[in-house]
Each structure stands twice: as C-alpha cells, then as structure tokens.
Amino acid sequence: MKILRNAAVVAAIGLATSITAAPAMASADQYLVARCAKGNFGIEIRARYLTSGTKHVFNQLSWRISGNVGSKNTVRFFFMQDAQPDFVFKAFNYEGGKTGSRNIWVTRPKAHQVFVRFGVRFDTSASSDPGCTYQTRGI
C-alpha cells in the first residue's frame, strides 16, 4: 500500500510539473510578409517572430528585391505599435544588394497590436531612384 501511495505522489508531482511548464513555452516561428513595387522594381520582406505567453519577439528580417537594380539599395524597417496615433518603437536601415537577412531582437508586450512598415529606395540607372513603401498585417 505504501508503494502505491508513493507512486501516486510521484505521478502527481510529474503531472503538476508538466502543467506549469507548458505556458512558458513559445509558439513556433511565424512570419509577417508584405510586398510593394514601383514600375519594374519590387521588394518582398519577411519579419520572423514568435509569440510567447507575454511577448511578441521578432528575431529576423529578410528581403528580396526584384528588377534590374544596383548594389546600393536602401531598405528601412519600422516596428510600429498600432495606437492613436501609430508610433515607431524600433527602426533599422540597411544598404546593399538584391537580398538580405539580419538577425534582430525586438520585443513588445503581447497585448500591444504591432506591425512592420517598410520602405525601399531602388538603386537604378535612372536620374532619380524610385521607391515604394508598405506595411504588414498587424499581430
């Protein structure tokens, strides 16, 4: 009888441990994806994030530019909180070729609605470089 009681206590402790550990785990990676274009030039951006029990955690930005562009394209990312008015809580600027990927660390409380606004200035042979801006959906 004593052995059965000890086994029941050990099982109960194991169950309680697994129940309390579950909420602390984060969800799988997800992406905010958006595209914009100007004439023959376009860009697709991806902001990788995961959402824990209390925070949104962004950990990577990547982009791919299409069209006949040079090596000095400028891409800007603005992490926005959806509010009245919306405001920027983090920004990144990158200059380079047609593709890029950067590891980042941006967090925001899960209760806040956030999105990524972005803009690009395409490096072209034209007298003035075209650009476009857009934003992702909110989370």
pLDDT digits (tens, 9 = 90+) for 75-121: 999 999 999 999 999 999 999 999 999 999 999 999 999 999 999 99
Paired tokens of 52: 């824990």
Tell me how far apart the alpha carbons of residues 100 and 75 are, in angstroms, rounded to a whole number: 10
Claim: this prediction has a pTM higher than 0.85: no
- Please list the alpha-helical segments (H only) found in 69-129: none
Average pLDDT, the chain: 86
Nearest in space to 35 (alpha carbons), one of 137, 107, 103: 137
Tell me how far apart the alpha carbons of residues 55 and 110 are, in angstroms, rounded to a whole number: 4
pLDDT of residue 97: 92
